[in-house]
Amino acid sequence: MAIEAIKTKKELSEAVYGFRASRIILTAFELGLFSKLGENSLNAAQLAAASATEPRACERLLNALCVLGLLKKAGGRFRNTKISRDHLLAGKPQFMAGLTHSASQWQTWHTLSDAVRRGTSVIKRQANRKDEKRRRGFIAAMHERASAQAPRIVRLLDLAAVNRCLDIGAGSGAYAMALAQAKKSLRVVAFDLPEVLPLTREYVRRERLLPRIDFVPGDFNRGGFGSGYDLIMLSAIVHMNDAQQNRRLIARAAAALNRGGQLVVQDFIMGPDRTRPGLGALFALNMLVATAHGDSYTAAEIGGWMRAAGLKKIKKKDTPFDAALLIGWKE
């Protein structure tokens, strides 16, 4: 997603009122309207009954979706357009399953003013570990992005002397799978919370890679990772933590590396003034509203944690995406 500076009053107005289109799409998605329509043509009363909504209100929402180009209306009946059929129908190859997570983010982002006042998330949540729907939505959103990027990211890595890898916070296993596919002799360990790993297995099973990947449960902020790894991947992890948590995490990861092994951090790696990359600056606010202490960190900060862990030859590699790599080697 390109982030561009606002330069005109029109662009400012569009940015301010952009929430309306977002909320319309997310509400329709949460109500399942696109999938309930499918390939059919239905009237508002039929869709209201199917989605357990009030008929007049449902019709107003459907009309707004027509304005956005996601539905077409003829003779009082509605049908999906090509873009909604391609991306908003459950089960389609390009289905945007991650919108479930986007709808969840809406609930956190509306607290931004209070979060800025207090300096941390103000969301009051019960423990999420039993919230299967939220967890599946989050993993699906992460997979949608990671599965498209992981193969290209892995091609930037030196795997010549790598025989065993650890993917910390594996999520859907997108990077574990990309590593396994990049080098057939590679053995990969996917490490994540016990409640996440069953979902990881589902994604790995779809790609028929179960024999190549091992699954180890644990919390990456507690305990060690064992030993004997030639490469350890921390993809989209450090932004969840505060600085001290990251210092300890990177130290424990470095301890699990073989001599000559490499630790790869992939994340929004910010420049010194923290305004570039632009998406990273916006993501820092996402961490503010959603976590107690998460942030987007600079190359100097992450490199400092690596050096403190005894890693050498630290270098940054740009990627075709907004995120970058910082790689440190254990001598």
Is residue 43 a part of any domain in this protein?
A: yes
**Same domain? 211 vs 294:** yes
Separation of alpha carbons 231 and 236, rounded Å? 16
**Same domain? 299 vs 173:** yes
The Cβ-side half-sphere exposure at 125, using a 13 Å CA radius, reads 16
Tens of pLDDT, residues 114-146: 999 999 999 986 544 457 888 998 999 899 999
**CATH number of the domain to which 160 belongs:** 3.40.50.150
Is residue 27 a part of any domain in this protein?
A: yes
**Same domain? 156 vs 48:** no
Q: What is the mean pLDDT of residues 30-48?
A: 97
**Same domain? 57 vs 175:** no
**Same domain? 197 vs 311:** yes
Is residue 128 a part of any domain in this protein?
A: no
Domain boundary among 50, 79, 94: 94
Residue 267's closest CA among 109, 87, 106, 146? 146
| pLDDT score of 128 | 47
Q: Which domain holds residue 32?
A: 9-94
Domain count for the chain: 2
**CATH number of the domain to which 53 belongs:** 1.10.10.10
Residue 52's closest CA among 30, 25, 73, 78? 30
Is residue 63 a part of any domain in this protein?
A: yes
| pLDDT score of 131 | 76
Cα distances (Å, whole numbers) of residue 183 to 93, 149, 163, 217, 289 = 26, 17, 9, 24, 39
**Same domain? 160 vs 302:** yes
Predicted TM-score of the model (pTM): 0.90
Q: What is the mean pLDDT of residues 85-89?
A: 96
Q: Is the separation of the CB atoms in 282 and 239 below 8 Å? A: no
Is residue 280 a part of any domain in this protein?
A: yes
| pLDDT score of 162 | 98
Residues of the chain with pLDDT > 70: what percent?
98
